[in-house]
Structure 1
Amino acid sequence: MQNATQLLNDTLISKSLSAADYVPTLDAMLSRTLARIDLKKQQGLRTPDELWIVDHNDVYTLGQAGKEEHILQRTNTPIIKTDRGGQVTWHGHGQLVVYWLFDLDSLKWSVRNLVSHAEQAIEDIINDCLHSASLPNTANISAHARRDAPGVYLYADASAADNDANTDTNNLSFDSTIMLGKMASLGFKIKHGFSYHGIAINLNCDLSAFNAINPCGYAGMQMLRLSDFVTMQKEPAAQTMQPISESLSYETITQKLIDNIAKRHAGLIELRAITPK
């Protein structure tokens, strides 16, 4: 497991982990959170918040209240019981996982604020990618969160199917849309005002791993990946002559997301009104 740390601003750092096994990562994340809680309680210190960008080895994780019945088939992939919210999901290569180790009280964020910032950051990045590098026949597709089911989903605007005009994805009417499936999941744990765990976005992963579970506890939920809707480099480090507007990589999408989250953390991006769906 390799890791690299980057200072994003005075109160936020990012840490990258590659080929990371789940249990050691969870143990390290919990240990860091408990240490930060202790420093704040005992010495009144505000430590920098952390974004952990993780490339996980294949694993199924079951949330704290997760039900075994949502595991439909046992495979060679380990199943780990964890302390986050939510049901069962899969993590693995080609999926972008970001853990948010934030001091919510210092940020003056509620848990709802945290969830909304996470969902809206994902919406921003997916919609930006769809706009800049979408494949033919995907111009009317956009990403949105739902009130009734945490995560971010892709919707097709049926009313605009025959139009070439751009769709304003922030003001999309859900009356004329069709939900295609889910592209990103989220689940957090809050301990003494500190968050950990986070979000997972399917970029160019093998979606067949989701066939063995009811993703996030929803039977029949169609899972999606971004590479089926935009032009992505097949290998993360591959060299390409295509301009970035035509070809996206795992790294460029990751950096877009980190930049967006950092701006939200600094108060430079405010929350939008929450979608009615």
Structure 2
Amino acid sequence: MCATLVSPSQSPSDPGMPAAAPQTPLSPIVVRWRGNEAYQASFDAMREFTAARDAGTPDEIWLVEHPPVFTLGQAGKPEHLLVANSGIPLVQIDRGGQITYHGPGQVVAYLLLDLRRRKLMVRELVTLIEDAVIETLAAYNLAGERKAGAPGIYVPQDASGASAAHTGAKVAALGLKIRNGCSYHGVSLNVSMDLSPFLAINPCGYAGLETVDMATLGVAASWREVAATLAARLEANLAAHAATIRLVAEAAAADPSDGAAGANPAAGAAENEAAACAAAMQPAVSAVSGGEPPQPQAGVAPAA
């Protein structure tokens, strides 16, 4: 893996944004608008960035739209690609989960975070990401829910309006890789896209799982508009977690007898992996847990 940082020319900041200054441990995250980019280029750049970063490297969120591509996670089974000659390339990658599709009209947000520095457990990060998707979709008056054992956001069974015809469908999904306490990969949200390539796979290893986009659910919004909303919610949720950690640390400093308060909850997360297959995503208004996840094919475990 190359040990050079991604250069500004490869990942330009949003127009009008000043260049990132060296950051303190919990300073604001740098958001980079990479635009339409080949999947392999993003994948290589994420790994290079993560390999080269040190304790002072700013955390970043990359916003990307990919040309059509199928990606197969570490536990992925090739048989979940149902159409061998679809004309869409297949890339084997190092996130968790099974197979998914990325394409035009889908917002992909990659989270390059130092979890140790943020004292952030992997499961906490997954929850913060799902919350951000839920809040983003709520901004467009869409409802959704989590499903136990099946990471992502789904159209709820009691959905109304245009969503009622797509209950149980998936509109948002996530997949992460954790290396040396730092995350890469991230979350994808279907905005307005050609959904037919999802019919060529068992999304996330689930036969018959419907995927849907915001446009099908009745939302007319641009890729950039939704990307900006999602990035803002990711930043806000991560900032809120950081503020909570800071308050806990201050309380521990004021009362040294409470030794547990200052503990680092990210200890042991260095080589752990959070996997939530990055297939299609779905709308949500509140963080609803419950309901039965879609059943995978025999012998296929849901993404963790």
TM-score, normalization by structure 1: 0.76
CA distance in 1, matches of 2:184, 2:227: 19
In structure 2, the partner of 1:245 is none
Post-superposition offset of 1:19: 2.4
Q: Is the 8 A contact 2:145 2:288 kept in 1?
A: no
Give the counterpart letter for 2:13 in structure 1. T
Post-superposition offset of 1:96: 0.6
Instruction: Report percent identity of matched pairs.
Output: 37
Q: Is the 8 A contact 1:2 1:19 kept in 2?
A: no
Give the counterpart letter for 2:76 in structure 1. G
In structure 1, the partner of 2:13 is 5
Aligned counterpart for 2:229 among listed residues 256, 265, 271: 256
Q: Can you give the 5+ residue segments of structure 1 that lack an aligned partner in the other structure? A: 40-44, 132-141, 163-177, 233-247
CA distance in 1, matches of 2:198, 2:287: 31
Structure 2 counterpart SS, 1:30: helix
Paired positions, count: 227
CA distance in 2, matches of 1:58, 1:207: 11
Structure 2 counterpart SS, 1:180: coil
Runs of 4+ residues over 6 Å off in structure 1: none
Q: Can you give the 5+ residue segments of structure 2 that lack an aligned partner in the other structure? A: 1-8, 245-285, 292-304
CA distance in 1, matches of 2:287, 2:155: 18
Question: Relative contact order, CA 8 A, sep 6+: which one is greater?
Answer: 2
Does residue 22 in structure 1 map to residue 39 in structure 2?
Answer: yes
Q: How does 1:20-59 map to 2 (within 5 A)?
A: 20-36=37-53, 39=54, 45-59=55-69
Q: CA RMSD for the aligned pairs?
A: 2.4
CA distance in 1, matches of 2:46, 2:10: 15
Give the counterpart letter for 1:101 in structure 2. L
Does residue 215 in structure 1 map to residue 203 in structure 2?
Answer: yes
Structure 1 counterpart SS, 2:91: strand
In structure 2, the partner of 1:149 is 150
Q: Is the 8 A contact 1:123 1:145 kept in 2?
A: no
In structure 1, the partner of 2:213 is 225
Q: Name the structure with the higher strand share.
A: 1
Query: Per-residue CA shift, 1:51-105, capped at 9, x if unaligned?
Result: 0101101100000110011110021110000000110000010001011101111
CA distance in 2, matches of 1:179, 1:229: 10
CA distance in 1, matches of 2:105, 2:114: 29
Structure 1 counterpart SS, 2:151: coil
CA distance in 1, matches of 2:178, 2:219: 37
CA distance in 1, matches of 2:177, 2:11: 23
Does residue 83 in structure 1 map to residue 83 in structure 2?
Answer: no
CA distance in 1, matches of 2:212, 2:97: 19
Give the counterpart letter for 1:258 in structure 2. A
Does residue 194 in structure 1 map to residue 208 in structure 2?
Answer: no
Query: Per-residue CA shift, 1:233-265, capped at 9, x if unaligned?
Result: xxxxxxxxxxxxxxx322221111111111112
Structure 1 counterpart SS, 2:155: strand
Q: Is the 8 A contact 2:97 2:204 kept in 1?
A: yes
Q: How does 1:83-102 map to 2 (within 5 A)?
A: 83-102=94-113
Query: Per-residue CA shift, 1:25-54, capped at 9, x if unaligned?
Result: 111110000111xx2xxxxx3321110101
Structure 2 counterpart SS, 1:114: helix
TM-score, normalization by structure 2: 0.69
CA distance in 2, matches of 1:198, 1:96: 11
Post-superposition offset of 1:191: 0.4
